Amino acid sequence: MLDNSTSEQGDGRQEKDPVKLKKSVWKIALIITLSIIGTLLIGIGVLFAKYPPLAKTAYNFMLASTDKIASEEGKVNILIMGKSGGSRDGADLTDTMILASVSLDAPGIKMVSIPRDIWISEIRAKINSAYFWGKTGSPYFSSRETGGGISFAKKIVGEIIGQPVQYGVVIDFSSFEDIVNALGGIEVDVENGFTDKLYPIEGREDDTCQGDVNFACRYEIVTFDPGLQVMDGNRALKFVRSRHAEGDEGTDIAREARQQKVIGAMKDKATQPKVFLSPKTGLAILGIVKKYVETDIDLPVAGALARFTLDGSKSITQFLIPENLLVNPPISKTYDNLYVFIPKAGNGNWEEINNWFTSTLKN
């Protein structure tokens, strides 16, 4: 998550190193959940009177009803997708895909990570490009046939899980810095100080540095001293992204621990009453969501859905699709020479995976 490594190209077909199903996907899910729920909660009291659409949202939040929420058998399936954003290649690839199944009968949320390398024959590409192809169209169909990026991604995931996906959310992770700033900064306890002499400078990835063979102009030195400190968005982003620190802090494990610290700090700050009830913060967060979040959930429905999500957030169960249901076939032209996952039952045969989802997501 929040990685500064190179993304796949826009067609979703450039080969990368094999994907490891890490626990860090849940940290991404928490950022997304925080952004969406926090947006609906911060400053609701003040915004109620000033913005009529939000008044209905607030009303639905306080008196949550299932009447307007699309659901099936007492649950709502929401596909949460995270993209790197920006202008670089692969900005619309949703390398983070998580199905959140929210119960309307008893408070609880079940979350399942959808591996981004699942091969989809229909688009002859990995599932992480479904949103991209649905949005832009592909050599095999036009965007008009897909219903749009979110709609097409929901359709593809629905086929894999064997049940409908009612709603979809796409969050641009480049919003991270803005969210921290909107919260007025966060307080982070840096356990281990470190220095990273190779932190990449955005926009200079292709700088020739006037012939410097070390390309020193592409990087800056960042240093963090140990101790409790307040970080703005830019500083927090460097703290969680740094991957070339000297010593133990240069490991992936240390980086994930730093990311967890920052997410916890964001949660703590967002739930402080002076932040929670601040109209200025509420408007800032709403502006960020408008800019960086795309969804097919309208505001009135979002109010009621946010209430059920908030109630269920105290009982979140996380799952990964069992490894024995997916196989990694030999790299070949059949899969455009990419590292992919296909169902163990055979390419395009989702029956076993459908059954697993049915059993796992039942209330």
pLDDT digits (tens, 9 = 90+) for 310-319: 778 778 888 8
Judge contact between 345 and 327, C-beta under 8 A. no
- What amino acid is encoded at 215 in this protein? F
Give the residue with greater pLDDT, 209 vs 247. Answer: 209
Instruction: Give the C-alpha separation, 172 to 165, whole Å.
Output: 21
What three-state secondary structure class fits 34?
A: helix
Mean of the pLDDT values across residues 260-273?
80
pLDDT at 21: 44
CATH number assigned to the domain comprising residue 257: 3.40.630
User: In residues, how long is the chain?
Assistant: 363
- 347 and 233 in one domain? no
Please name the helix (run of DSSP H) or strand (run of DSSP E) that holds residue 51, with its range, or none: none
- 288 and 255 in one domain? no
pLDDT in tens, 187-228: 999 999 999 999 988 888 888 999 988 899 999 999 999 999
Show the domain range for 268: 185-272
pLDDT at 328: 92
- 169 and 197 in one domain? no
**Would you place residue 287 in the very low, low, confident or very high pLDDT band (cuts 50, 70, 90)?**
confident
pLDDT at 56: 54
How far from 239 is each of 106, 236, 310, CA to CA, in Å?
A: 38, 5, 29
Looking at the DSSP assignment, which residues form a beta bridge with residue 285?
none
Q: Which of 355, 279, 289 is nearest to 324 (CA)?
A: 355
pLDDT at 60: 57
Beta pairing, strands 109-113 & 316-320: parallel
Residue matched to tokens 């990570």:
113
Question: Which residues make Cβ contacts (< 8 Å) with residue 346, sequence separation at least 6?
Answer: none
CATH number assigned to the domain comprising residue 127: 3.30.420.590
According to DSSP, residue 265 is labeled H
In a domain, 10, yes or no: no
pLDDT in tens, 288-335: 878 888 899 887 787 778 778 777 877 888 888 998 999 999 999 999
pLDDT above 50 for 45: no
Residue after which a domain boundary falls, among 272, 289, 315 = 272
66: its two tokens: 């299932």
In a domain, 357, yes or no: no
pLDDT in tens, 3-29: 443 334 344 444 444 444 444 444 445
Instruction: Give the C-alpha separation, 179 to 142, whole Å.
Output: 35
pLDDT in tens, 108-155: 889 888 888 999 998 999 999 999 999 988 877 777 778 899 999 999
Please name the helix (run of DSSP H) or strand (run of DSSP E) that holds residue 81, with its range, or none: strand 75-83
Question: Which residues make Cβ contacts (< 8 Å) with residue 270, sequence separation at least 6?
Answer: 34, 38, 42, 183, 276
Question: Which residues make Cβ contacts (< 8 Å) with residue 323, sequence separation at least 6?
Answer: none
Looking at the DSSP assignment, which residues form a beta bridge with residue 262?
none
- 146 and 36 in one domain? yes
Instruction: Give the C-alpha separation, 361 to 363, whole Å.
Output: 6
- 287 and 244 in one domain? no
What three-state secondary structure class fits 313?
A: coil
- 327 and 262 in one domain? no
pLDDT at 232: 94
Instruction: Give the C-alpha separation, 55 to 51, whole Å.
Output: 6
Highest mean pLDDT among 57-61, 70-74, 257-261: 70-74
Give the total number of structural domains in the chain: 2
- 262 and 286 in one domain? no
* Phi, psi dihedral angles at 148 (to 5 degrees): 110, 170
- 286 and 156 in one domain? yes
Q: Give the range among 58-62, 163-167, 175-179 with minimum mean pLDDT.
A: 58-62
Q: Which of 85, 96, 88, 81 is nearest to 148 (CA)?
A: 81
- 342 and 252 in one domain? no
Angle at 97 between CA 233 and CA 301, to 5 degrees: 80
Q: Which of 115, 107, 91, 246 is nearest to 174 (CA)?
A: 91
pLDDT in tens, 67-93: 778 889 889 999 988 887 766 667 889
Q: Give the rounded percent of residues in the chain with a pLDDT score beyond 90.
A: 34
Instruction: Determine whether 212 is exposed, middle or buried from the number of CB atoms within 10 Å of its CB (0-12, 13-18, 19+).
Output: exposed
Residue after which a domain boundary falls, among 272, 289, 311 = 272
pLDDT at 143: 72
pLDDT above 80 for 343: yes
In a domain, 230, yes or no: yes
Residue after which a domain boundary falls, among 244, 272, 300 = 272
pLDDT at 116: 87
- 232 and 105 in one domain? no
pLDDT at 271: 74
Q: Which of 196, 197, 315, 198 is nearest to 258 (CA)?
A: 196
